[in-house]
Chains A and B, each alone.
Chain A
């Protein structure tokens, strides 16, 4: 089955800096890669996703890049703000159901 590795487990940045979270996956058949943000005590929420036929996708301050050859994908957050502080999960899935396998999460702390 799919195995998703996520790094770092904790990331601390100053407000205004950029943050990068990296994930690798094992199943070359995976073709859908969502990212979820989970604020403390709240449910995970999808923030951005990418399919395998696209190398990069941006949505305002967040972007995701995908390298299918190397089987890794990354989340980039620019101009970080304290409200970006949360746990971020990457995931990978394949097939028609798109059931995701999640990484272990990255706790992002943005210091004002």
Chain B
């Protein structure tokens, strides 16, 4: 399966500042996905990033707040802009496939970025 390197692993940021999270995949992938996981909560899709086109954002997420870059098929960044304490969360990138063993499909996640905004 794909190996994803995500950084930083954690950060503590001042409100009003921005943080850029990077994900590097060891193989070329068409789509990369960015998720948010608030403490003790489920995974919420922020946006889908395709190389060469604008990211597609889910309801409740906007480009001005979460700009995404996808310069090539192995790399993507998510920026959390003008942060507030409500942005404190874990942010994960993800790529599609492959599944486990004899599974059909699946998603592989990066190790996550634990963001605390103070």
Contact = CB atoms under 8 A, between A and B. Distances in A.
Interface of A: 32, 34, 42-49, 51, 59, 89, 97-100, 102-105
Interface string B87-118: 00000100010011111111111111000000
Contacts of B102: 59
A33 to B, nearest CB: 10
B41 interface: yes
Contacts of A49: 99-100, 103-106
Contact of B92 (A43, A98, A103): A43
A47 B43 contact: no
Interface residues of B, number: 24
Nearest to A54: B104
Interface string B9-44: 000000000000000000000010100000001111
Contact of A103 (B33, B42, B106, B110): B42
B100 A44 contact: no
B107 A34 contact: yes
Given A46-B99, A59-B101, A97 B31 contact: yes
Contact of A47 (B41, B92, B100): B100
Nearest to A4: B42
A102 B111 CA distance: 18
